[in-house]
Structure 1
Amino acid sequence: MNRYSYLCISFFLFFTILQAQKDSLKIRKAYTTLPIPNNESIIIDGLLLDKAWENVVWDGNFTVFEPDNGSKPSQSTKFKITYDSKFLYIAIRCFDSVPLKIEKRLSRRDSFAGDWIEVNIDSYNDKRTGFSFNVSAAGVKGDEFISQNGDSWDSSWNPIWYTASNIDNEGWSAEMKIPLSQLKFGSANEQIWGLQVHRRYFRGEERSIWQPISLEAPGWVSEFGILNGLKNIEPQKQLEIQPFLVNQYDKYPAQDGNPFRDGKDYKLNAGLDAKIGLTNDLTLDLTVNPDFGQVDADPGAIALDGFQIFFEERRPFFIENKNIFDYEFADGNDNVFYSRRIGRSPQGFTTATINEFEEFPTNSTILGAAKFSGKTKNGWSLGLLESVTGKMFADVEDVSGNRRSELVEPLTNYIVGRVQKDFNERNSFIGGIFTATNRNIPDNLDFLRSGAYTGGLDFKHNWKNRNYYVEGNVVGSHVTGSEEAIAHTQTSITHLFQRVDADHVSVDSDRTSLTGTGGKLEIGKAGGGNWRYDGGFIWRSPELELNDIGFLRQADEIKQTASISRLFIKPTNFYRRANLGFSQYTTFDFEGNYNRIQYEVEGFINYKNNWWTEVGAAHKPRIFSNTVLRGGPRWRWSEENFGFLFFGSDNRKKLSFTLGYVNSQAAEKNFSLERYVLRLNYQPFDAFNLSISSEYEENPNKTQYVTEKDVNGVPRYITGNIDQKTFSTSIRFNYSLNPNLSIQYYGEPFISRGIYSDFNFVNNPIAENLSERVTLFSANQITSSSTSDSYLIDENIDGITDYEIVNPDFSFVQFRSNLVLRWEYIPGSEVFLVWSQGVVGSANPYETLGSNLDSQILGQKKDNTFLIKATYRFVL
């Protein structure tokens, strides 16, 4: 790391400590509840007429959170809370001066549309996590698990609870009945919980809250008020069992002679999910033969840089309580635990010849998984996950009907353990993580690692009312396997030990293990006043490997980061809020090569009419890469400038939009990027919502890597001028018949095509001028072969072909869609009717994107899947 980097980090450290004085006291509001008398009860109908409500008092006096923080709300709100031995009851009255204009949008669960009220409960009282219960004026419920002091809201958490709302001449009212089994708390004579009540007044786009929180605050949960009076309630152990049954029919275009593609398949599947409360704090989740047929398909994507593509987790079992297992140790998507590895596509291959047919499994079967997780009253966050995926076989059949099965994925066991401990009045924590992946490797899959183990320690300390923080972590990895597996790891794009100009790494074909480290250290200011800043560094050693159960894009990097931003949080006649920020980073490899520096400025403004603009620009005067030539020498890109501009309308309106433009230009026209973005959201009536998001991108590059060839024992790196164009559109609509019955649709066509020209070879990869970096093949050196769809290279023009380049032109086409009818017929139990369509293939790269869209997606016969999935949740 250079002297400049150390000076940046030292400056932030000194400036932060200089400003950090003793914590100041905060004024906490408190609500004291009382139990329901034994002879009384509450019916959840939203009317607030039950006599039991008379036993507790109303509380109100809300203040505005946004836009004019701290002012008096335009509409008043009040609430009261009571309880019995099994449930917490909450009544809320939202006054509205024009009840006819209350926005009562019907939607599916967790959509948070229209006017709503939300109750946040920190029953752990750890000032970092909480449970959120939300109901709209239309009676639509929402629920989220809050973590990271409000930085993360997980809507996949779906507890069983009861709610109803009602509109009258005073405004609207709501009731909530929350089972204590859905909350987590320890044993105590009197519970002390964190509490916040939050209202959205839709017409005025005004957020008001019971416990005042400044927009300068460093977080959300840490600022809650207090709920007192919960006496002699017993922690409730949770026991829920949810079996499911899936009936699936697949129909697709038949292929002549292919026994595996006869046009239709049918299967019946069953499984089980269970949630067992070992204590009120800790829960055991189990799944046997899980099915995720109702989950949206992944969006289309293509990567020409050779790196793996990160996809978000969508499967419910792995999403729930994911905050406990999360260990983002560096930046980007790098994480010690990436649950998409469990059930991944098989990594092996068959010995099928060109005259044979094969049926290859799409995903590995998860035989079973168990997840133990929770948080104790003493501040321990605990998580333990184990999953087993079965052996996966591909079937191969020849033209004579002889069939065989070949193993393409071994039996694999995954373990993840996570622990964190709060201390220092919940202002600090220290934690650790451990993961293990073990495979039963047969000879034909010897290129896979047999074992992978990681361990890590992390910490965070907040002070001065959590306005200042220092955080960090360290990760260690150890992978084992055959000599072939470890050699494959060393030469993968994540590591590239074969780089010809690297002195600090080299491929050792005799090794059977690798051990690496990574981590980060950061210090900054997260709250208080109008300024925010941070600085730190990140490292990933060359041998760090996480991709068996984690996600690591690239090893061998040291990165220094710094940023500062100014918040404008007091509304004016021009804007509601705004911010302006500047950031900078540099990167090095472990040999000391100074690879990159970037400066970026960006700003955001939310106008008085609730329209908004986001703008930014960056300058990269130095860009070197160790990966562009896939094991070749270090490569230099021409310096780059990029900018972006997005603006959008008020999203409360029936029709709202976002327009965006991104432009990147490198010197000497080395490469460029132009991206156009259009997003539309249309709500013609309360029960229906339609959204469309389209992107079109042009990404030409004069030096796109093509291949490596051997010329008299010397590697020759070939690049070309690519003209790449990509188009994608995602379409979603939701029609809600009532809060528990809805129809959703998701569809996305994706097309990307690339045409190569002006092939060249690398001459001096780190030259400043592009003309010195590569040398174009002359017309006499390169010819196109009409018989083999390739290019023939005769470098010395002696009439003899020196090597051949396969034509790299491509056109990738994908379409995925889901139409789902979802009915929650009783709380926690659902029926799904699903129709999925899909097609994946290639098109003519010399046709326009529009032509390929018409012929390969609109005009192509698609694979169709029809399924019925039914679940029933037994609460015992």
Structure 2
Amino acid sequence: MQKTFVVVFAFCTFFCVKAQDSIPTVPKLIYTTEPLKDNVVPVIDGTVDDQAWGLVDWSSEFIEREPDENTPPSEQSKFKILYDDKFLYVAYRCYDSNPEKIEKRLSRRDGFAGDRMAIIIDSYHDKRTAFSFTTTAAGVKGDEFVSQNGDNWDDSWNPIWYTASNIDSEGWTAEAKIPFSQLKFGKAKEQIWGLQVTRLFFREQERSVWQRVPQDAPGFISEFGELHGLIDIEPQKQLEIQPFLVKQYDTYPAETGNPFRDGTDFRLNGGLDAKIGITNDLTLDLTVNPDFGQVEADPGAIALDGFQIFFQEQRPFFVENKNIFDYEFANGNDNVFYSRRIGRSPQGFPSLNDGEFVDVPNNTTILGAAKFSGKTKNGWSIGLLESVTGKMFAEIDNNGQRREELVEPFTNYLVGRLQKDFNERNSFIGGIFTATNRKLEANLEFLHKAAYSGGIDFRHSWKNRNYFIEGNIVTSHVTGSPEAILRTQESLTHLFQRTDASHVEVDPNRTSLTGTGGKINFGKVGGGNWRYETGGFWRSPGLELNDVGFLRQADDIRQFANLQYRFLKPTKLLRTANLSVRQSSAFDFEGNYNRIQYDFRGFINYANNWFTEGGATHKPRIFTNTTLRGGPRWRFSEENFYFVFAGTDRSKKFNATVGYVNSQAKQDNFSLVRYVLRTRYQPFDAFSLSLNFEYEENPSKTQYITERDFSGTPRYILGEIDQRTFITTLRFNYSINPNLSIQFYGQPFISRGTYTNFNFVNNSIAKDLSERITIYNPNQISQSVEGNFLIDEDLDANTDYEFDNPDFSFVQFRSNLVMRWEYIPGSEVFLVWSQGVTGLGDPADSLGRTLDNQIFGQKRDNTFLLKATYRFVL
């Protein structure tokens, strides 16, 4: 089967290359602007009737892009651009034959709701990155930094600019004023910038553009038209200082006798953020004692496989310009830089005596951080981040006597990133370097003293960027005490102690560990209906990145091949659709053939804008090195997986998505059933509500529990688990005006697991499940008064070993209610009320009873926070 796939893939590749050697190019449009004269500037009120706009002509060559590319749009649009020494001015006219149907939905900044226009400016003119400024018919602004030739849109970028809109008898109009200080460009007599203007005609979900971008184009920014006429404008160096003040009041259930949990806390905090334009291309961001109090809580999650859970970065300082520092070197979330390591929860925990109470900080204090980043006119992308976190102490109370114990050391983090464009911006080569250095003390010798990583990456595109080859390599080196390096060797990421692994072994005397990783792949991303990609990646056994990066598993080699067909022209039945197949396989560095799988995916967007997506996966071979946590290689039974989702038109005021996921392994080794319902309702323009439900059943006959010794032989104990998880997420947004909004986020999360049919590993790689495990018979297993399970494996009436009852019921509720007021551009007030409760329920209870007892019936932790910022623009 695998050979057949390779032959078919090779044939398709050859056919696609030969059939599309000559790909027509689209003529570039040019808009030539003019400077304002006699200091007469337009008033930004959205009416476009100022005298100043008469200096230039309207440009109205808009063409439809979605759904029916290269046809006249349902409603035409036009725009004008002017400039002076400090600002770029833009005017829009959006015709609409039914102005009463214009969708003027309010939202907070970057809500991107309703009818809207956007100007997207590639001021670097590198054909890969751009700055996007969106104005909606309701006057809401949205702004994004665009990278990866349009594949990545980062709405965390919040420049200072001005906009307004107005609805009249012909449709709607808008104006925007964009300071040159918020754009990046080099010195030149005349600036030549990439330019695109787009419109979303919301009720038809129709997108039109000024510069045509074919549906089979290899990217978005590389296809832009050009803005000419910017003569003798001077780069504006940015200088912004933003102090903040935070008042925080916490309430929580008091704990009898615990002096650290008396029921209330009050904190007053302050800090400073600054943005300094070193040059117009490069910016220095500074933060002192940053506060992230208004950041939304992480979603609930539990991982029975033992691996760390990846959470998205939400803190503004680290999110802005995140794309420059990204270095995804393999697949998934693996990254040389994972900013959530900075300010993480303390990794140590103090030793306590009976009757002692402890107060451990939730997070490590970031004393200060600086970020130097940007892109120069000649194609250098530069990123340098330095951050220092302070010592963190747990405070311990023993009958009024207090002492402190270090739980996180003084740590310095350094990340450097560099890329250079060349070959007319069709290629780049770059590198990254990270360093983590800790000032360790005796009780924290289990941490690495130092961790370093470095890498080189490249990408080359040709034939109008339709074809590409890219790759990267990473190396890491960590040092520390023998205890620290032993801990790394035996961690779930590495498992050097695996009993059947001959290519790795634990060395308790090592004081360093070195490894490599990387990726190479090539493919076709544009031109015609076909797309394909093939390649592979590796992570050596000694690769370790988790001091300031993210690495889930080392000792892994993977190969993959993807083939996709895209339907580019709409029909009477559908707007767009695509079908894809994928094959992948996995090995380890000992040469074990661990996995092969085949995937099929499809997506259809119907003519009425409803959609369906689905897929299926066949996994005839599944081996893992991690399931038994240091034991031998483990085999899972053959698996078949499929999913289907369907949804209504997302432009309607009420829309919904339903989904079903099903996975089933042979011999009922394991299974997964998941039901999903997502709804969104906007009863009026200022208010939107979404409510999402997810219920999952995930039983398995071989869920790992623990390891015990039996007569000198390790026993890997498993059990049949009945795991059920329920998640509900509620969000609403009420926008009083474009600059004042109230948002709510709430999520109860419940996961319950009960175990039966305890068993132990017999032959971990046997194909038949009955040979792979042996189930304890009733005479071998009993339960103590305390609830532990006692095993008399040899039936001699003596307990050979025991283990804890693994049943669990994890309960969590988190919510945020945030009022945000941007009282002047760039300056904000946040009023936040956060609630939370985390606990353990009774596994014997139903999910409904657990929800009632542990969430609705419990007193919750409350945080009330007031944060005010003021941005000085100098």
1:324 aligned counterpart, secondary structure: helix
* Matched residue, 1:817: 815
CA shift at 1:272, angstroms?
A: 0.3
- Which deviates more, 21-30 or 172-181? 21-30
Task: Report 1:351-362 matches (<5 A).
Answer: 351-362=351-362
Q: TM-score, normalised by structure 1?
A: 0.98
CA shift at 1:747, angstroms?
A: 0.4
CA shift at 1:352, angstroms?
A: 1.1
Task: Report 1:331-370 matches (<5 A).
Answer: 331-370=331-370
* Matched residue, 1:708: 707
* Matched residue, 1:84: 84
Letter in 2 for 1:740: N
The CA RMSD over aligned residues, in Å, is 1.4
Answer yes or no: is the 8 Å Cα contact 1:706–1:718 preserved in 2: yes
CA distance 1:25–1:217, shift in 2 (3 Å): closer
How far apart in 2 are the matches of 1:551 and 1:692?
A: 31
How far apart in 1 are the matches of 2:8 and 2:160?
A: 50
CA shift at 1:199, angstroms?
A: 0.2
Letter in 2 for 1:841: G
CA shift at 1:356, angstroms?
A: 1.1
Answer yes or no: is the 8 Å Cα contact 2:563–2:581 preserved in 1: yes
* Matched residue, 1:407: 406
Answer yes or no: is the 8 Å Cα contact 1:12–1:523 preserved in 2: no
CA shift at 1:652, angstroms?
A: 1.1
CA shift at 1:569, angstroms?
A: 1.6
CA shift at 1:51, angstroms?
A: 1.0
Task: Report 1:657-736 matches (<5 A).
Answer: 657-736=656-735
How far apart in 2 are the matches of 1:7 and 1:580?
A: 19
How far apart in 1 are the matches of 2:62 and 2:836?
A: 50
Letter in 1 for 2:812: Q
Task: Report 1:779-858 matches (<5 A).
Answer: 779-786=778-785, 788-858=786-856
How far apart in 2 are the matches of 1:70 and 1:12?
A: 27
How far apart in 2 are the matches of 1:676 and 1:772?
A: 33
1:500 aligns with 2:483: no
Answer yes or no: is the 8 Å Cα contact 1:411–1:440 preserved in 2: yes
Letter in 1 for 2:598: Y
How far apart in 2 are the matches of 1:510 and 1:298?
A: 39
* Matched residue, 1:606: 605
CA shift at 1:38, angstroms?
A: 2.8
**CA deviation digits over 1:786-845, x for unaligned, max 9?**
2x2200000011110000110000000000000000000000000000000000010000
Answer yes or no: is the 8 Å Cα contact 1:790–1:804 preserved in 2: yes
CA shift at 1:520, angstroms?
A: 0.4
2:203 aligned counterpart, secondary structure: coil
2:54 aligned counterpart, secondary structure: helix
Answer yes or no: is the 8 Å Cα contact 1:5–1:560 preserved in 2: no
Percent identity, please.
Answer: 69
* Matched residue, 1:144: 144
CA shift at 1:26, angstroms?
A: 3.8
* Matched residue, 2:549: 550
Letter in 2 for 1:755: T
CA distance 1:477–1:18, shift in 2 (3 Å): farther
CA shift at 1:354, angstroms?
A: 3.8
How far apart in 2 are the matches of 1:68 and 1:611?
A: 16
**CA deviation digits over 1:449-480, x for unaligned, max 9?**
01100000000011111111101000000010
1:156 aligns with 2:156: yes
* Matched residue, 2:371: 371
How far apart in 2 are the matches of 1:619 and 1:11?
A: 23
How far apart in 1 are the matches of 2:144 and 2:712?
A: 61
2:336 aligned counterpart, secondary structure: coil
CA shift at 1:359, angstroms?
A: 0.6
* Matched residue, 1:192: 192
How far apart in 1 are the matches of 2:475 and 2:97?
A: 60
Answer yes or no: is the 8 Å Cα contact 2:20–2:527 preserved in 1: no
**CA deviation digits over 1:76-107, x for unaligned, max 9?**
10001010000000000001101111110011
Answer yes or no: is the 8 Å Cα contact 2:834–2:862 preserved in 1: yes
1:206 aligns with 2:203: no
2:655 aligned counterpart, secondary structure: strand
**CA deviation digits over 1:130-189, x for unaligned, max 9?**
000001000000000000000000000000000000000110000000000000000000
How far apart in 2 are the matches of 1:41 and 1:128?
A: 32
How far apart in 1 are the matches of 2:529 and 2:713?
A: 58
**CA deviation digits over 1:534-570, x for unaligned, max 9?**
0000100000000000000000000000010110120
1:203 aligned counterpart, secondary structure: helix
Provide the aligned length of Structure 1 versus Structure 2: 873
CA distance 1:484–1:12, shift in 2 (3 Å): farther
Answer yes or no: is the 8 Å Cα contact 2:271–2:287 preserved in 1: yes
**CA deviation digits over 1:186-244, x for unaligned, max 9?**
00000000000000111221101000011111111001000000010000000000000
* Matched residue, 2:869: 871
Answer yes or no: is the 8 Å Cα contact 1:23–1:463 preserved in 2: no
Answer yes or no: is the 8 Å Cα contact 1:12–1:524 preserved in 2: no
1:311 aligns with 2:317: no
CA shift at 1:402, angstroms?
A: 1.2
1:158 aligned counterpart, secondary structure: coil
1:570 aligns with 2:569: yes
How far apart in 2 are the matches of 1:800 and 1:6?
A: 58
How far apart in 1 are the matches of 2:7 and 2:412?
A: 46
How far apart in 1 are the matches of 2:462 and 2:275?
A: 37
CA distance 1:16–1:651, shift in 2 (3 Å): closer
* Matched residue, 2:436: 437
CA shift at 1:10, angstroms?
A: 7.7
CA distance 1:733–1:561, shift in 2 (3 Å): same
How far apart in 1 are the matches of 2:535 and 2:271?
A: 47
How far apart in 2 are the matches of 1:484 and 1:21?
A: 59
Letter in 2 for 1:609: N
**CA deviation digits over 1:472-518, x for unaligned, max 9?**
00000001000000000000000000000000000001111111000
Unaligned runs of 5+ in 1: none
Letter in 2 for 1:370: A
How far apart in 1 are the matches of 2:592 and 2:3?
A: 14
1:171 aligns with 2:174: no
* Matched residue, 1:589: 588
* Matched residue, 1:53: 53
CA shift at 1:23, angstroms?
A: 7.8
How far apart in 1 are the matches of 2:204 and 2:420?
A: 42
CA shift at 1:874, angstroms?
A: 0.1
Letter in 2 for 1:181: S
Answer yes or no: is the 8 Å Cα contact 1:13–1:523 preserved in 2: no
Letter in 2 for 1:580: L
How far apart in 1 are the matches of 2:11 and 2:551?
A: 30
Answer yes or no: is the 8 Å Cα contact 1:561–1:584 preserved in 2: yes
Letter in 1 for 2:408: E
Answer yes or no: is the 8 Å Cα contact 1:459–1:472 preserved in 2: yes
Answer yes or no: is the 8 Å Cα contact 2:23–2:527 preserved in 1: no
Answer yes or no: is the 8 Å Cα contact 1:66–1:207 preserved in 2: yes
Letter in 1 for 2:758: F
CA shift at 1:13, angstroms?
A: 8.1
CA distance 1:377–1:875, shift in 2 (3 Å): same
CA shift at 1:8, angstroms?
A: 9.3
Letter in 2 for 1:867: L
CA distance 1:170–1:16, shift in 2 (3 Å): closer
**CA deviation digits over 1:238-263, x for unaligned, max 9?**
00000000000000000000000000
Answer yes or no: is the 8 Å Cα contact 2:128–2:150 preserved in 1: yes
1:748 aligned counterpart, secondary structure: strand
How far apart in 1 are the matches of 2:151 and 2:443?
A: 46
**CA deviation digits over 1:320-367, x for unaligned, max 9?**
000000000000000000000000010001011342111111110000
Letter in 1 for 2:355: N
How far apart in 2 are the matches of 1:749 and 1:731?
A: 9
Answer yes or no: is the 8 Å Cα contact 2:644–2:659 preserved in 1: yes
Answer yes or no: is the 8 Å Cα contact 1:20–1:463 preserved in 2: no
CA shift at 1:603, angstroms?
A: 0.3
